Amino acid sequence: MCGDVFFNGTTSESGDKTMNRRTGNLTNYHSHCLYCDGRANMEDFVRFALSEGFTSYGFSSHAPLPFSTAWTMEWDLMDDYLSEFHRLKAKYAGQIELYIGLEIDYLNEESNPSMIRFRELPLDYRIGSVHLLYNDKGEVIDIDVPADKFRDIVDREFGGDLVRVVHLYYERLLKMIGLGGFDIVGHADKMHYNASCYRPGLLDEPWYDELVRTYFAEIARRGYQVEINTKAYHELGTFFPNERYFSYLYGLGVKVQVNSDSHYPERINNGRREALQALKKAGYTSVMELYGGEWKEIPIYYSRKECQNSFLE
């Protein structure tokens, strides 16, 4: 049975039952509900995940920052966030495995995933991401915006110096990786789309390619997982990280998982099949999924028949 595919141990009884219902790699660990900037409550995501045949699902609200924003959770909601999760985990036990995490931003040396306050939270996993930069005035600038707004920000806040902005972004990612405190690198090179819109051909410039490869090599050295973020695939035709680096990540031995970064329940499965196909093309034969509270390396397959056939070969 599909429950036997785990490479690093046996499944729990509940994990076996969940795995027996598998119809493909239907898992997601990056999603946002009403506790941050998501557009539905936790239970709506769970119900939709069940309707789609998902067997393992995780919530990762944007973690609190030192200041209020429209897209991050506030600390005074953390207990409610955890309590609601545990209610749903109990309610849907035996139907789907549910997990709780946070997407934690690297802001600076004092606010990042390595903070004791984040480490002490009873979470199943943590995603480390960068959405923010500082301008020359020391002001926090959100650079996770549409391409047209990104262009305005680069021109207005950084004097049109895209190269500097790109370096600042990857420098912050490398600092985050160095400090640790998380399990998964979120949308690893998300700036690539906006930056290439600002400067077509950027991704083919040697300095940029070297910068990205150095960054991925450091991820591999420290043993983090990388998510293949499918959020923008249907709209923009790209994954984060860029598909051109999938084979490089494979060569480095980086473990990957496929996540939709969904803010709407109906989008939790967007781009998944395309991402799995791209990973197989790059050499990957497995992705990481959570079962029985442990990360498992699960073969890539698209249907129940493929899952069963993988054990007949």
Q: Kindly report, residue by residue over 208-267, the tens digit of the pLDDT.
A: 999 999 999 999 999 999 999 999 999 999 999 999 999 999 999 999 999 999 999 999
Superfamily for the 2-309 domain:
Metal-dependent hydrolases (3.20.20.140)
CA distances from 144 to 46, 68, 130, 141, 204 (A): 27, 17, 9, 9, 22
Kindly report whether the peptide bond that precedes residue 241 is cis, defined as omega within 30 degrees of 0.
yes
Q: Give the 3-state secondary structure of residue 55.
A: coil
Q: What is residue 22's predicted lDDT score, i.e. its pLDDT?
A: 57
Q: What is residue 3's predicted lDDT score, i.e. its pLDDT?
A: 30
CA 125 to CA 138: how far, in whole Å? 31
To 5 degrees, how large is the angle CA 228–CA 148–CA 142? 65
Token readout for 233 is: 């695939």
The number of helix segments (H) and strand segments (E) in the chain equals: 12, 11
Domain-by-domain residue ranges, the chain? Answer: 2-309
What is the identity of the amino acid at 215?
Y
- Pick the range with the lowest mean pLDDT from 9-13, 100-104, 124-128: 9-13
Alpha helices in 223-265, H assignment, sequence order: 233-236, 246-252
Percentage of residues in the chain having pLDDT higher than 70: 89
184 forms beta bridges with: 127, 225
Q: What is residue 196's predicted lDDT score, i.e. its pLDDT?
A: 97
Contacts of 111 (CB under 8 A, 6+ apart): 65, 66, 105
φ, ψ of residue 284 in degrees (nearest 5)? -70, 140
